[in-house]
Chains A and B, each alone.
Chain A
Amino acid sequence: MDNASLFQCLLRFGDNTLVLGHRISEWCGKAPALEEDIALANTALDLIGQTQMWLGYAAEVEGADRSADDLAMLRDVWDFRNILMVERPNIDFGHTIMRQFLFDAYHHAQLTALSRSSDPRIAEIAAKSVKEATYHLDRSAETVIALGDGTDVSHAKMQNALDLLWPYAGEMFESDDVDAQMAASGIAPDPATLRDAWDLRVRDTLSLATLNIPEDNFAHKGGRTGARHTEHLGHMLTQMQWLQRAYPGAVW
């Protein structure tokens, strides 16, 4: 196991939480109900907090005199290693919640496994984060059920969101050389091993939500390897990074 691989692995963790955290922060002040607004903002803050830990450790491992902030605010699209699903635009509340649920179910399984990592720093970060992810999953699953098994309109919107998002779920379980190295040294699980727990949780919840899981298992990929991102990530970064781009080195 070399440091470059560990760095890649940490970027994948940190970029998922950073990009999704930013996406759901876009709801701040305009969610459909005050209670949902605060809940989404809380989730966004949890994810940004986890990002600080993942990218902070990534920066140390890289040893190139960069900080977590540098990694978050000064990299461009092709250096991001998040899965494509989390960079998708929010579209509407149903789509946002469905994406959150599909990710939370994965995130919870991933963090549970990572809390047993042979790397003590990773185990610590995961043990802290899994408590947050447990709550995120609880909340998003319940909302998916309520909306899926709700009115005709909410059901149709949730089914539509699931159909749109399903082709983005497969990337979460892809693995490559980096993952093989991580798994061999007990640092991180092979993502493919998380699929059973995820499937179980997702099928259970979606069935309670009276939603049909699409049969096609085609998966868009390229985000976590950096091969290609969707056109949405660049637009998101112009918003997220504009201050550091316009006023380099600005601090509070």
Chain B
Amino acid sequence: MNTPEKAAPKRTGEWPLFEVFIRGQHGLSHRHVGSLHAPDAEMAIKNARDVYTRRNEGVSIWVVEAEAIHASAPGEKEALYDPSNDKVYRHPTFFDVPEEVGHM
């Protein structure tokens, strides 16, 4: 059996879209800040540096090709999230916390 050839990239004349994630400071997680176009991942990081970190916003940049991101479908909202709505016992609010423990 022949291995199917890898599909050639679509030639739309546009650079692919990348989503940009930036870590604001050490200890925080990367946060989505926006998107941009770039010919490849390396240039995407450089472009992200120029477009999104001009005012000293970041210590680390992640870029991900937008088409590599899989998202939940908005139409499945009810099935995905509603069932947890009425299950208040999943929140740890039924315990009496002793005074001496302080703020949790």
Alpha-carbon distance A33/B44, docked complex (angstroms): 13
Closest to A147 in B: B39
The answer to whether A35 touches B37, judged by C-beta atoms less than 8 angstroms apart, is yes
The answer to whether A146 touches B39, judged by C-beta atoms less than 8 angstroms apart, is yes
Closest to B14 in A: A33
Q: How many A-B residue pairs have CB under 8 A?
A: 29
Q: Inside 8 A of B38's CB, which chain A residues have their CB? A: 35
Q: Which of A35, A42, A135, A138 has the most CB of B within 10 A?
A: A35
Q: Inside 8 A of B15's CB, which chain A residues have their CB? A: 33
Within 8 Å of chain A (Cβ to Cβ): is B54? yes
Task: Tell me which of B1-9, B45-53, B88-96 binds A.
Answer: B45-53
The answer to whether B50 touches A38, judged by C-beta atoms less than 8 angstroms apart, is yes
Q: Inside 8 A of B54's CB, which chain A residues have their CB? A: 38, 42
The answer to whether A39 touches B46, judged by C-beta atoms less than 8 angstroms apart, is yes
Within 8 Å of chain B (Cβ to Cβ): is A139? yes
The answer to whether B42 touches A35, judged by C-beta atoms less than 8 angstroms apart, is no
The answer to whether A38 touches B51, judged by C-beta atoms less than 8 angstroms apart, is yes
Q: Inside 8 A of A142's CB, which chain B residues have their CB? A: 42-43, 46
Closest to A138 in B: B46
Prevailing SS type, chain A contact patch: helix
Within 8 Å of chain A (Cβ to Cβ): is B36? yes
Closest to B52 in A: A38
Alpha-carbon distance A146/B46, docked complex (angstroms): 14
Alpha-carbon distance A143/B50, docked complex (angstroms): 15
Task: Give chain B nearest CB distance to A193 CB in angstroms.
Answer: 30
> Using a CB-CB cutoff of 8 Å, which residues 134-171 of chain A contact chain B?
135, 138-139, 142-143, 146
Extra pairs beyond A35-B36, A135-B49, A146-B39 (18, CB < 8 Å): A33-B15, A34-B36, A34-B37, A34-B51, A35-B37, A35-B38, A35-B47, A35-B50, A35-B51, A38-B50, A38-B51, A38-B54, A42-B50, A42-B54, A139-B46, A142-B42, A143-B43, A146-B43
Sorted nearest first, the 8 A-B pairs with minimum C-beta distance are: A35-B47, A39-B50, A38-B50, A42-B50, A38-B51, A35-B36, A139-B46, A35-B51
Q: A residues bordering B, Cβ < 8 Å?
A: 33-35, 38-39, 42, 135, 138-139, 142-143, 146
